């Protein structure tokens, strides 16, 4: 028997008839067509399915869709306003933190959540925040650089705009 | 030499924006209307006769649209290698026997996962279990169960030999007699897996008109097309492999896989698209891993450390089918003989069938295992002779222009420079041996430094043997690049674009890439013999050069100047000396169409390595040319060992490498870092734990792929030995898999340097280190 | 990977949840954060017909009662437990343990109650059994053990990170049982049998964890050893409590709790007793660590040997005792790092 689930994703409300046993990842990917969140393991170990729930990174593969009705879900598709890249996305590109790209949406979201909380994290704080996101391609160093650079960029932008 | 605008620059990846915004579509993201879910029934037995398969109940189950078993197949076998000596040995769906847990037996296509999963349970298979064997040395014994008959050409009375490689030169026995010191050791390596993030996945859609459309996570579409066509009995032209982004591969997505075949066959039977995505557990239990090698090496040296003779005996636990098992015993020979001059050598390598999952190439394909053995032993020799590890390597390192015993040439080999640079940069000589000189009480944490060297080939002759590239000009002066190359994350599309950009002087952002589609793009060797930068790159260069020539011709006409005086720059042409008067490319294209019978300017390029060689060297005898392009590197590792817990970690990795010249330094750094990370996983963390052919840790919780906590500082030093000039062939070298090997050896040597005990097998787990330190009761 | 089919109930209070448990019996399973239950369901080692998700139950912030006892709601997410100022100041070991679990995402989903009730783990058990290890072992209701084929019991490991810390803190669980509520020391929650690891009744739920008020000259320290330092379950984890005498020299009270090496967290009773009244010094700590390592009996496992685990226990206990002594002897002993 299907149930009706109301989700708020990237600022839009959706009413979706789905299975009680549907994960948030299944609903996002298969029903809403938001395939940016990936399933590399399905059991919580890799972080490639990371989305933000009220700004906090969670694993969509281990979340029941019905359980996430009262919060605001942000997926990689909802990060940008318009077509300009966010500072995190930009830094990932510029620092070479992307190779095959399969881990990238999760990485970018985890990093975004971290920087929102803490715009000038230490390397250890970045590591702690990204410990649940596996990447097989990059060896992580460029990801660390990218997160640091994005933090700096964001602080500059923030101080720039407050100075105006 | 002309100034370079695009090659040699840290150009940002072409596919970056798609990837950071989550818009890049991978095979797992692909869907067509009416797509069915496919699932595979796998063998629960390590070795068993199949008495009967009854799928009739599954066929009748609700929601099931097609079921396939061996009976539905043509019975055409496949193999990573398919030669006269080594014919294909694996059925696409098991026929009368299963030989490993996870072997494909049947597949179903149903309306959803649940229907598919339930249908699998309804397929009744009757087995008669057979005795199984998992250890290669046991499998060679006379009374071992026979998995396949031993290869008929192998003379020794061993069982289960999938293949053998033999090679020799000089007189090894005499060499040992003449040696001042002879050491003989055995080094063991363990089972690891690729760990690509995107699971194996295929979407297949068979059209009524007879065309099979396939999206599959792979390392090259052309090899897949050829194998699918052959096993399905379709003309090659009836199979189209489409492009999808690929979420990592590392060697593990080259061969034909059960899910690719089954999705296709199911689609042909059901008349609807079928998608199969392997679960991560399936990837771990039933797909291919790398190759654990047993390496015996006996080495004789002069008093001054000069290598005199070396004898190798390598045994590869190659799993239930040949896979790439007979390739790795060939390559192991190559990786043993490449970096150093060895006047007398004898090599024999056996690939041995066991009831384990089949093996695939894994980044480095035998090199890490071989370099670990050779470089560890070389340090042992150096210590006994009282020679420094740097000096003994410099003494034996190949020099530019040296010819290898098989007729290949190392050309501008920069190995000695790599060794020197790595040593200087890390102050190797000042640090080496320090830790071992301090007394036990010096503390719990011990540091050590070690070095290793390696060499890797860039491109060889394997189907389809060459790469072609087409470059088309657009009306507006931008261009389109068509290539069959598959970007698996390494940046193939980006570097090919840079090369074309350099030749035709159109900015990288303004060249659109159409790639990896067997119908709309020309053939390509694929991203799996490290020939992308060299072979596909030169094809791109030639195609660009043709466009360039046409642009210059027309520009000369239009500006009434000599062709030699035309300068191309940023989508415009001008006459040398008067850069103020420029014709944009858009006008040149228009002029060409107007005045040259409609020539809209298209360039064509193709490249083949070793153009005069008929084919790949013999896997069995190593005779014949292997490559014309060898990269070299020396890597230094600095480690820290906690002598209380046995935990060791890599602190710093320095890679000094002769990669010819870096086409894109940013991408090269990415390759270096990625390989360092993989190597430290190899050294300290990762192991596929197997018990009697079954996988104990089929997930990333228990298979310890490095996390962000484990990465070391990674630095790299370029030793540039080649150059790029517009209009000239080049010989840049590979950077994609050569750097997982020397660093492993360097880590092994650094652990020794730290704590003074030598480990003869990987991984260097805390337990093994404590054991070696005598700290375990 | 799909979850098996089930019916979902979403009660809005513990009372309602318990009522549903009574109604559905053992065909129902509780999901708090779901990070332990859902992977098991994906592997089909748990396949409840009904899942009772506690996600809608309001979670109260940690608070301190008039006696200084710290009350932490069972459904508090581990990341919130770790970052709560009250927890950090009154029970730093709990905050550290919560922060040592899994990853940022896991901590944002997983709850304290779920972590306490974490199902014991084993390589053979925590995977699906479609074509590997198909015959059910003891833990799956069968009659064999893959790990110790000759044995007649299960050796799965209780790996929770917070439990040893809670034992070190002498914390108790508040349990809702039907209409009744009772309190039980966390340490007594565990049977030691990995097949039925908890002493809780089938329809009991943990609603709160209560950590007694911090005592003077006392420190509780948590330490974890794992291969990667992130994502991983502990190879060994350990919590020690050390209370010093007035002169801050001798040991007045001690707890040494070792987790992840057996079917329930273990206490090193002999080592603890041996510490009582002794003047703390490096050799005493060393001796206590050594005693701990020889008295704890780690279970067999398939990725390392028992002697290696002993060595880990020793070095981890030593490190924890050293830190605890440092903290207890300076300041009030309960401030976080
Ligand atoms: C990749 C990964 C890594 C992990 N690493 C760690 C780690 O390092 N350390 C660690 O300790 N854990 C780890 N875990 C396990 C798990 O995520 C945590 O233990 C988490 O705290 C469990 O909480 P939960 O709320 O998600 O549990 P759930 O899955 O919701 O529940 C777990 C069990 O407890 C029962 N339960 C839940 N709440 C209650 C309650 N209030 N009363 C009674 N019973 C209840 C459930 O029925 C279930 O059986 C990891 C998990 C994954 C997937
Ligand atoms: S220890 Fe034995 S019985 Fe327990 S879960 Fe593992 S295999 Fe099963
Ligand atoms: S897919 Fe969710 S954590 Fe791997
Ligand atoms: S870029 Fe490939 S896994 Fe991270």
Query: Taking the domains of chain C in order of start, what are their residue ranges?
Result: 1-58, 63-117+157-211, 218-329
Q: Say how many Å lie between the CA of residue B489 and the centre of ligand 4.
A: 8
For residue A47, is it within any domain? yes
The proportion of chain C whose per-residue pLDDT surpasses 90, expressed as a percent, equals 96
Q: Which of C228, C307, C311 sits opposite B685 (nearest CB)?
A: C228
pLDDT digits (tens, 9 = 90+) for B145-160: 999 999 999 999 999 9
By C-alpha distance, the chain A residue nearest B11 is A94
Give tens-digit pLDDT for B612-660. Answer: 898 899 999 999 999 999 999 999 999 999 999 999 999 999 999 999 9
- Identify which ligand lies nearest to the alpha carbon of C123: 2
- Which 3 state secondary structure label does DSSP give C205? strand
B704 and C232 in contact by Cβ < 8 A?
yes
Q: Which atom of ligand 1 is nearest to the CA of C206?
A: 42
| pLDDT of B188 above 80 | yes
A:107-136 residues touching chain B, CB 8 A cutoff: 108, 126-127, 130-131, 133-136
Q: Are residues A72 and A91 in the same domain?
A: no
Centre of ligand 3 to C-alpha C103, Å, is 12
Residue A46: is its pLDDT beyond 60? yes
Same domain assignment for residues A91 and A147: yes
Identify which of A35, A90, A130 has the shortest CB distance to residue B29: A35
Q: Is residue A163 part of a domain?
A: no
pLDDT for residue B441 is more than 80 = no
- Which amino acid residue places its CA nearest to atom 11 of ligand 1? C160
pLDDT-based confidence at residue B439 (cuts at 50, 70, 90): low
Residue A151 lies in a domain: yes
Whether CATH 3.30.300.30 fits C1-58: no
Nearest to A75 by CA among A125, A115, A113: A113
Question: Does A56 reside within a domain?
Answer: yes
Q: Which of C12, C95, C103, C119 to mutate to test the interface with A (most CBs of A within 10 A)?
A: C103
3-state helix, strand, coil in chain A (%, to 5): 45, 15, 40
Q: What is the pLDDT of residue C158?
A: 98
What pairing do the DSSP bridges indicate for beta strands B36-42 and B274-277?
Answer: parallel
Of the pLDDT bands very low, low, confident and very high (cuts 50, 70, 90), residue A163 is very low
User: In terms of domains, do A101 and A65 share one?
Assistant: no
Per-residue burial over B359-373, b if 16 or more Cβ lie within 10 Å, else e, is bbbbbbbbbbbbbbb
Q: Is residue B343 over pLDDT 90?
A: yes
Q: Which of A39, A97, A100, A147 to mutate to test the pocket of ligand 4 (most atoms within 8 A of CB)?
A: A100
C147 lines ligand 2 (CB under 6 A): yes
C225 closest CB neighbour out of B102, B279, B645? B645
In eight-state DSSP terms, residue B418 is H
Do A57 and A115 have their domain in common? no
Query: Please, which residues have CB within 8 angstroms of residue C176's CB and are 6 or more apart in sequence?
Result: C14, C15, C18, C204, C205, C206, C207
| C-alpha distances in Å from residue A5, one per residue of A14, B212, B399, C57, C158 | 8, 38, 69, 18, 36
Beta carbons of C104 and A64 less than 8 Å apart: no
Which neighbouring-strand residues pair with B654? B636, B715
Name the pLDDT band for C218 (thresholds 50, 70, 90). very high
Fold of C218-329: Enolase-like; domain 1 (3.30.390)
Is there a domain that residue A57 lies in?
A: yes
Mean pLDDT of chain B: 97
* Ligand 3 shell residues, CB under 6 Å: A 39-42, 44-49, 59, 61
Contact of C289 with C318, CB cutoff 8 Å: yes
Using the beta-carbon criterion (under 8 Å), do B20 and A127 form an inter-chain contact?
no
pLDDT at C336 over 90: no
User: Where does the pLDDT of residue A164 fall: very low under 50, low under 70, confident under 90, or very high at 90 and above?
Assistant: very low
Domain of residue A52: give its range.
3-78
Instruction: Inform me whether the C-beta atom of residue B704 falls under 8 Å from chain C C-beta atoms.
Output: yes
**Quick check: do C1-58 and C63-117+157-211 share a fold?**
no
Q: What CATH number is associated with residue A110? A: 1.10.150.120
Mean pLDDT over each residue of chain A, to the nearest integer? 96
What angle do the packed helices B742-755 and B665-680 form, to 10 degrees?
50
- Tens of pLDDT, residue by residue over C253-270, are 999 999 999 999 999 999
**What CATH number belongs to B16-23+462-608?**
3.30.365.10
Residues A38 and A55 in one domain: yes
Question: Is B16-23+462-608's fold the same as B293-460+616-772's?
Answer: yes
Q: What is the CATH number of domain B31-130+196-249+253-285?
A: 3.90.1170.50
Q: Is the CB of C158 under 6 A from ligand 2?
A: no
Segments making up each domain of chain B, as ranges: 16-23+462-608, 31-130+196-249+253-285, 293-460+616-772
What residues of B are in contact with residue A29 (Cβ under 8 Å)? 29
The DSSP code for B151 is P
pLDDT of residue C200: 95
Return the H-helix or E-strand segment holding B472: strand B467-473
For ligand 4, atom 4, the nearest C-alpha belongs to: A135
Question: A81-85, B548-552, B758-762, C16-20: which has the minimum mean pLDDT?
Answer: A81-85
Residues A19 and A56 in one domain: yes
> Which pLDDT band, with edges at 50, 70 and 90, does B777 fall under?
confident
Q: What percent of chain B has pLDDT over 90?
A: 97
- The closest CB to that of A36, out of B22, B489, B674, belongs to B22
- CATH number for the C63-117+157-211 domain, one of 3.20.20.210, 3.10.450.50, 3.30.465.10, 3.30.70.1230? 3.30.465.10
- Indicate which residue's Cα is closest to atom 7 of ligand 1: C101
pLDDT at A81: 86
Interval between CA C78 and ligand 1 midpoint (Å): 10
Q: Which of B606, B724, B583, B721 is nearest to B664 (CA)?
A: B724
Q: CA-based Rg of chain A, rounded to a whole angstrom? A: 16
Distance between Cα B47 and ligand 3 center (Å): 33
pLDDT digits (tens, 9 = 90+) for B279-319: 999 999 999 999 999 999 999 999 999 999 999 999 999 99
pTM for this structure?
Answer: 0.97
Q: Which chains does chain C touch, 3 or more C-beta pairs < 8 A?
A: A, B
Query: For residue A133, how far is the Cα from the chain centroid?
Result: 10
Q: Ligand 1, closest atom to CA C75?
A: 41
CB atoms B691 and C232 under 8 Å: no
- Name the CATH architecture for the domain at B293-460+616-772: 2-Layer Sandwich (3.30)
Nearest CA among B257, B269, B271, B276 for reference residue B68: B269
pLDDT for B395-406, tens place per residue? 999 999 999 999
Q: How many domains does chain A divide into?
A: 2
A19·C103 Cβ contact <8 A: no
CB C303 within 8 A of CB C227: no
- Phi, psi values for residue C159, rounded to 5°: -105, 5
Interchain CB distance below 8 Å, C102 and A132: yes
With residue B496 as reference, give the H or E element that holds it. helix B492-504
List, chain by chain if needed, residues with CB within 6 Å of any ligand 4 atom.
A 98-104, 135-138; B 197, 248, 489
Query: Are B707 and C134 an interchain contact pair (Cβ–Cβ within 8 Å)?
Result: no
Q: What is the pLDDT of residue B442?
A: 73
Residues 6+ apart with CB under 8 A from B295: B186, B187, B188, B189, B312, B313, B314, B332, B369, B370, B372, B373
Judge: B29–A75 Cβ closer than 8 Å, yes or no: no
- Nearest 5°: the CA angle B180, B181, B182 is 130
**CA B749-B752-B757 angle, 5° bins:** 140
Whether the CB-CB separation of B649 and B764 falls below 8 Å is answered with: no
Q: C303 and B702: CB-CB below 8 Å? A: yes
Cα Rg, chain C, nearest whole Å:
20
Is the CB of residue C288 below 6 angstroms from any atom belonging to ligand 2?
no
Please state the φ and ψ torsions of residue A94, each to the nearest 5 degrees: -65, -35
Mean of the pLDDT values across residues C196-223? 97
Note the pLDDT tens digit of each residue in B198-247: 999 999 999 999 999 999 999 999 999 999 999 999 999 999 999 999 99
Among residues A78, A109, A136, which one ends one of the domains?
A: A78
């Amino acid at each position: 028997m299907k149930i009706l689930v109301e989700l708020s994703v990237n600022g839009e409300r959706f009413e979706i008839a789905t299975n009680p046993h549907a994960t948030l990842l299944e609903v996002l990917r298969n029903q809403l067509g938001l395939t940016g969140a990936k399933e590399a393991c399905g059991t919580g170990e890799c972080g490639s399915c990371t989305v933000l729930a009220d700004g906090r990174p969670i694993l969509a593969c281990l979340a029941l869709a019905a359980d996430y009705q009262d919060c605001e879900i942000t997926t990689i598709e909802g990060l940008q306003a318009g077509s300009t890249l966010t500072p995190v996305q930009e830094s990932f590109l510029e620092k070479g933190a992307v190779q095959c790209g399969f881990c990238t949406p999760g990485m970018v979201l985890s990093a975004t959540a971290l920087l929102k909380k803490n715009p000038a994290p230490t390397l250890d704080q970045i590591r702690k925040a990204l410990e649940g996101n596996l990447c097989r391609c990059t060896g992580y160093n460029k990801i660390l650089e990218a997160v640091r650079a994005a933090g700096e960029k964001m602080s500059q932008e923030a101080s720039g705009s407050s100075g105006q | 030499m002309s100034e370079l605008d695009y090659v040699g620059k840290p150009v940002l990846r072409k596919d970056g924006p798609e990837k950071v915004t989550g818009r890049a579509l991978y095979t797992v993201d692909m869907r067509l209307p009416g797509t069915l879910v496919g699932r595979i029934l796998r063998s629960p037995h390590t070795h068993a006769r199949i008495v009967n398969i009854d799928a009739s109940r599954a066929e009748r189950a609700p929601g099931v649209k097609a079921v396939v078993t061996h009976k539905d197949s043509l019975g055409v076998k496949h193999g990573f290698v398919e030669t006269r000596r080594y014919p294909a040995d694996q059925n696409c769906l098991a026929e009368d026997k299963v030989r490993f847990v996870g072997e494909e037996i049947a597949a179903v296509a149903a309306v959803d996962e649940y229907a598919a999963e339930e249908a699998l349970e309804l397929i009744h298979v009757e087995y008669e279990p057979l005795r199984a064997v998992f250890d290669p040395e046991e499998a060679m014994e006379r009374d071992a169960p026979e998995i396949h008959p031993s290869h008929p050409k192998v003379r020794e009375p061993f069982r289960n030999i999938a293949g053998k490689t033999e090679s020799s030169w000089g007189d090894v026995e005499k060499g040992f007699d003449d040696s001042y010191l002879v050491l003989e050791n055995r080094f063991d390596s363990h089972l690891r897996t690729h760990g690509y993030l995107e699971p194996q996945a295929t979407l297949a859609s068979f059209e009524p008109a007879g065309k099979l459309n396939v999206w599959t996570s792979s390392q090259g579409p052309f090899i897949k097309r050829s194998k699918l066509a052959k096993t399905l009995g379709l003309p090659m032209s009836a199979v189209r492999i489409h492009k999808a982004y690929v979420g990592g591969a590392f060697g593990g997505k080259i061969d034909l896989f059960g899910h690719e075949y089954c999705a296709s066959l199911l689609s042909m039977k059901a008349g609807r698209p079928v998608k199969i995505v392997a679960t991560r557990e399936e990837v771990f239990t039933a797909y291919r891993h790398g190759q654990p090698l047993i390496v015996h090496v006996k080495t004789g040296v002069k008093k001054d450390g000069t290598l005199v003779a070396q004898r190798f005996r390598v045994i590869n636990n190659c799993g239930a089918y040949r896979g790439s098992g007979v390739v790795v015993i060939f390559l192991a020979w190559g990786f043993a003989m490449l970096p150093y001059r060895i006047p007398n050598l004898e090599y024999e390598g056996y690939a041995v069938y066991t009831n384990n999952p089949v093996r695939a190439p894994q980044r480095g394909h035998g090199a890490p295992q071989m370099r670990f053995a050779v470089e560890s032993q070389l340090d042992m020799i150096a210590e006994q002779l009282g020679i420094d590890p740097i000096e003994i390597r410099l003494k034996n390192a190949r020099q530019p222009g040296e010819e290898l015993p098989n007729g290949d040439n190392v050309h501008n080999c920069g190995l000695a420079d790599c060794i020197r640079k790595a040593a200087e940069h890390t102050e190797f000589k000042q640090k080496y041996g320090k830790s071992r000189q301090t007394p036990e009480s010096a503390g719990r944490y011990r540091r050590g430094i070690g070095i290793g060297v390696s060499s890797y080939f860039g491109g060889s002759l394997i189907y389809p043997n060459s790469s072609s590239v087409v470059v088309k000009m657009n009306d507006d002066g931008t261009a389109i690049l068509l290539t069959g190359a598959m970007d698996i994350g390494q940046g193939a599309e980006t570097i090919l674009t840079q090369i074309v950009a350099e030749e035709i002087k159109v900015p990288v952002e303004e060249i659109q890439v159409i790639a990896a589609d067997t119908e709309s793009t020309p053939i390509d060797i694929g991203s799996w013999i490290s020939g992308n930068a060299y072979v596909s790159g030169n094809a791109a260069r030639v195609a660009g050069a043709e466009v360039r020539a046409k642009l210059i011709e027309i520009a000369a006409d239009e500006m009434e100047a000599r062709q030699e005086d035309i300068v191309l720059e940023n989508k415009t042409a001008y006459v040398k000396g008067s850069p103020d008067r420029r014709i944009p490319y858009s006008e040149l294209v228009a002029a060409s169409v107007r005045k040259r019978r409609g020539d809209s300017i298209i360039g064509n390029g193709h490249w083949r390595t070793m153009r005069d060689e008929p084919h790949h060297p013999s896997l069995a005898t190593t005779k014949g040319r292997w490559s014309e392009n060898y990269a070299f590197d020396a890597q230094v590792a600095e480690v820290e060992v906690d002598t209380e817990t046995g935990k060791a970690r890599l602190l710093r990795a320095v890679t000094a490498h002769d990669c010819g010249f870096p086409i894109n330094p940013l991408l090269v750094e990415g390759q270096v870092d990625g390989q360092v990370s993989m190597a430290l996983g190899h050294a300290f963390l990762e192991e596929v734990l197997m018990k009697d052919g079954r996988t104990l840790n089929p997930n990333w919780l228990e298979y310890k792929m490095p996390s962000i906590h484990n990465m070391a500082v990674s630095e790299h030093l370029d030793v540039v030995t080649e150059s790029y000039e517009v209009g000239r062939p080049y010989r840049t070298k590979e950077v994609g898999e050569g750097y997982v090997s020397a660093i492993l050896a360097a880590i092994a040597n650094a652990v020794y340097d730290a704590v003074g005990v030598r480990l003869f097998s990987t991984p260097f787990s805390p337990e093994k280190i404590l054991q070696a330190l005598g700290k375990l009761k | 990977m799909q979850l098996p089919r089930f019916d979902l109930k979403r009660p809005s209070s513990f009372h309602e949840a318990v009522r549903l448990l009574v109604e559905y019996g053992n065909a129902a399973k509780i999901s708090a954060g779901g990070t332990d239950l859902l992977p098991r369901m994906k592997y089909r080692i748990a396949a409840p017909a009904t899942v009772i998700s506690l996600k809608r139950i309001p979670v109260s912030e940690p608070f301190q009662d008039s006696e200084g006892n710290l009350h932490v709601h069972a459904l508090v997410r581990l990341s919130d437990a770790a970052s709560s100022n009250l927890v950090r100041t009154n029970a730093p070991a709990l905050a550290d343990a919560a922060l040592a679990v899994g990853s940022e995402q896991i901590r944002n989903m997983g709850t304290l109650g779920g972590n306490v009730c974490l199902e014991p783990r084993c390589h053979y058990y925590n995977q699906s059994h479609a074509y590997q290890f198909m015959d059910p072992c003891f833990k799956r209701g069968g009659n064999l053990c893959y790990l110790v084929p000759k044995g007649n019991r299960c050796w799965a490991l209780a790996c929770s990170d917070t439990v040893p810390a809670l034992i070190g803190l002498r914390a108790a669980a508040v349990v809702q049982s039907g209409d009744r509520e009772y309190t039980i020391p966390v340490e007594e929650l565990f049977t030691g049998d990995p097949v039925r690891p908890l002493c809780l009744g089938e329809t009991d739920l943990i609603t709160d964890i209560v950590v007694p008020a911090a005592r003077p000259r006392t420190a509780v320290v948590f330490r974890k050893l794992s291969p990667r330092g992130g994502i991983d379950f502990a190879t060994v984890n350990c919590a020690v409590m050390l209370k010093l005498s007035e002169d801050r020299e001798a040991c007045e009270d001690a707890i040494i709790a070792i987790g992840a090496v057996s079917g329930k967290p273990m206490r090193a009773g002999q080592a603890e007793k041996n510490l009582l009244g002794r003047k703390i010094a490096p050799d005493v700590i060393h001796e206590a660590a050594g005693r701990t390592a020889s008295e704890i009996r780690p279970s067999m496992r398939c990725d390392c040997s028992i002697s290696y685990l002993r060595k880990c226990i020793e070095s981890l206990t030593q490190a924890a005792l050293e830190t605890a002594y440092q903290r207890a002897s300076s300041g009030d002993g309960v401030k976080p790092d």
